[in-house]
Structure 1
Amino acid sequence: MNRRHFLQTTAAATLLPGITQAAPPATRIIDTHTHFYDPTRAEGVPWPGKGTKLYRKVMPADWRALAEPHGIRETVIVEASQWVEDNQWILDLAEKEKCIVGFVGNLDPNDAAFATNLERFAKNPIFRGIRWRGDLVRIDANKEKVLAGAKLLAKHGLQLDLNGPPTMLPHAAQLAADVPDLRIVIDHLGASGDPQSLRPEWKENIGIAAKQPNVFMKVSALVEQVKCEEGQAPHDTAYYLPILDHLWETFGPDRLIYGSNWPVSDKGASYDVVFKIVDEYFRAKGTEACEKYFWKNSLTAYRWVERK
């Protein structure tokens, strides 16, 4: 065991009552939430905006330089663009980058070409599903088209990521109940807010979503939601326990998934800190919980592919 792993093990062992020794590092880690994009393309990008720190070329090699020191060599990309052809741009990137084991794209169920586009991209095994962001697709509106789109995803064996405020969670639970064959992943903690000042409706609505067995929770965006100067989120895992403990109590060991949200996560803290927080927490839960969180649960939810 090297010095880094020794220190991480020692730290993890102090977090939870009754834990005297943390589990070893996970044997495999899949980062299920990265964004790659290139503003230097002739057509540019719809996100991020010019003049922001995120407005730069971000590619797999940049992520690997941060992730590989932690033993993280594989990722599921989540859409960063609502442009239909940017789905193909990521799939083309994945042809060259074997670290990409899955891609969650962006297709609007309100688009008349939704079914055609979904069938087109679903032919590629790297394409694992789509994400509906609350600023683009409200699942509590146009319910007929949303439900039809969700059923079509399930038909293709694909999954659905959802990103939105806590008020979205009961609607996500209803969608999960209406389409029980659809695997739904809630992004970014369901927008909990700062761990020390959680949004009042968050805890209750998390419980509602967790009651549906086909709903998973991605433990991402922990540091970005902290109220602090940019990049100065606390490093202490204990700071995040109000969120982590509630998710553990509601979703349990089988439906929590690792995702960094890099490079957006840099707004809160470095990749090292983002990983360190969840590494300490889940290794303190034991070997099996650690393995499930870092890769086994994501295989269930995303059905990502092995690359050779």
Structure 2
Amino acid sequence: MSAERIDAHQHFWDPSRGDYGWLTPELQTLYRVFGPNDLKPLREAVHVARTVVVQAAPTVDETRYLLDLARDDASVAGIVGWVPLDAPDSVELIDELAREPKLKGVRPMLQDLPDDRWIENPALAPAIRALIKNDLAFDALIFSRHIPSLKVFAARFPELRIVVDHGAKPQIKDGHAAWQSWADGIAELAALPQGLVCKLSGLATEAAPGWSVATLKPYVDHLLDRFGPERLMWGSDWPVLNLNGDYSHWFDAARQLTSHLDASAQQSIFGDTAREFYRL
């Protein structure tokens, strides 16, 4: 096993490109260009060698923009892009994009779609089969309300490699009231036969301002208990993270929350799981 440290989930963007519907000037912290040179000092300070860059706009143009950024940047290990999975030309598009060696997966922005059950649509089947054929992964950006549909989807495509983004975004700021439905849903996803993996990411964003290691501990403990370190991968979710934290603070918190594990388990979370899952 390599001791390389990998950030399994971060973003680059340029608002002037005009296809980030959610990224508005009101989000002052985020409404600017974020590129590899912005991330470099942050990841180097905590010895993160490479990253997986995840789409932030539901367009093929943004996927091509990220692939262009990645082409000559050794720090970008892979791109998770976006494809219109329900479009008539989805298979041809997937086949074309898959020729890019750094394309490692796709992500529909499920959390933003009006239909919580969209993922159950049978019309997606040709595109999903094309992902499997091209050995591409699937990032599931969900809340706990999407879990029943994700289970249907996973059962339909047992060969598809699926990773749950951001621990299924537990509503940490809502405290105990939102805990049980999330915790039960995580247990169900972790028990699925094909062995879904999960990202230890995005938790700071879901917490109230001023969060601490203690705030996040029950959530991280539950993810560890259900998925185990070999099916968890750490991600920063930078620069979205900047809304309620920063790179080093979240990295340090994640290290503390996993410090009771042995060295190989920690290496799984901070590098090996991502490398194996995404074929980096």
Structures share fold, TM-score greater than 0.5: yes
Query: Partner of 1:277 in structure 2?
Result: 253
Task: Give 1:136 shift.
Answer: 3.6
Residue 206 (structure 2) pairs with residue 225 (structure 1): yes
Equivalent residues in 2 for 1:167-182 (5 A)?
167-182=145-160
Alpha-carbon separation, structure 1, partners of 2:259 and 2:168: 23
Is the contact made by 2:9 and 2:237 (CA closer than 8 Å) also made in structure 1?
A: yes
User: Which one has the bigger helix percentage?
Assistant: 2
State which structure, 1 or 2, has the greater radius of gyration over its C-alpha atoms: 1
Stretch of structure 1 that moved more, 202-211 or 145-154: 145-154
Alpha-carbon separation, structure 1, partners of 2:58 and 2:254: 30
Instruction: Choose the corresponding residue for 1:211, options 165, 187, 191.
Output: 191
Equivalent residues in 2 for 1:237-256 (5 A)?
237-256=213-232
Pair 1:58–1:85, CA change in 2 (3 A): same
Is the contact made by 2:51 and 2:77 (CA closer than 8 Å) also made in structure 1?
A: yes
Task: Give 1:272 shift.
Answer: 1.0
Residue 137 (structure 2) pairs with residue 159 (structure 1): yes
SS at match of 2:105: strand
Alpha-carbon separation, structure 2, partners of 1:99 and 1:28: 12
Task: Give 1:139 shift.
Answer: 6.9
TM-score by length of 1: 0.83
Residue 117 (structure 2) pairs with residue 140 (structure 1): yes
SS at match of 1:217: strand
Q: CA RMSD in A?
A: 1.9
User: Deviation digits for residues 79-105 of structure 1, max 9, x if unmatched?
Assistant: 011121211111111112211010000
Task: Give 1:299 shift.
Answer: 1.7
Q: List runs of 5+ in structure 1 lacking aligned partners.
A: 1-25
TM-score by length of 2: 0.91
**Percentage identity across paired residues of the two chains:** 27
Pair 1:45–1:163, CA change in 2 (3 A): closer
Residue 23 (structure 2) pairs with residue 52 (structure 1): no
User: Deviation digits for residues 219-252 of structure 1, max 9, x if unmatched?
Assistant: 1111111123xxx332xx2321110111111111
Equivalent residues in 2 for 1:297-308 (5 A)?
297-304=273-280
Aligned residues: 273
Query: Partner of 1:34 in structure 2?
Result: 10
Task: Give 1:138 shift.
Answer: 5.2
User: Deviation digits for residues 242-275 of structure 1, max 9, x if unmatched?
Assistant: 1011111111121101111000011111111110
Is the contact made by 2:58 and 2:109 (CA closer than 8 Å) also made in structure 1?
A: no
Alpha-carbon separation, structure 2, partners of 1:167 and 1:221: 17
Pair 1:160–1:248, CA change in 2 (3 A): same
Amino acid at match of 1:216: V
Task: Give 1:146 shift.
Answer: 2.6
Alpha-carbon separation, structure 2, partners of 1:72 and 1:216: 21
User: Deviation digits for residues 194-218 of structure 1, max 9, x if unmatched?
Assistant: 1743443111111111112331110
